[in-house]
Amino acid sequence: MNNKFKNVPFWQLALKLGLIFILIVMFIQLIWEWIKVGNLSFITDGFNNGEWVNYVGSKLILGFVYGIVSAFFLKRNKSKK
């Protein structure tokens, strides 16, 4: 477990962490909107209005930043030990 993150390249680790984070955030938002609205019509409404570009763009940026920051701290903490 200690060397698990040491041998993985930085960008690969950042990409994996970012993608996992995006999936978790999107799942939570999907459940939240479903509870709030009561159906899944909000998905088609977002695509019809063209809001999906902003939605996808914001999630990609959020995932990218989260992945880089998390990978940096994981690599730094594992190299100290």
Query: Is the distance from CB of 17 to CB of 69 less than 8 angstroms?
Result: no
Does the structure show a pLDDT above 80 at 47?
Answer: no
The structure's pTM equals: 0.77
Q: In Å, how far from its chain's centre is CA 5? A: 19
The per-residue pLDDT for 28 is: 92
The per-residue pLDDT for 12 is: 93
Tokens of 49: 């209005």
Q: How many percent of the chain have pLDDT more than 90?
A: 40
The per-residue pLDDT for 1 is: 41
Q: Give the domain ranges of the chain.
A: 10-80
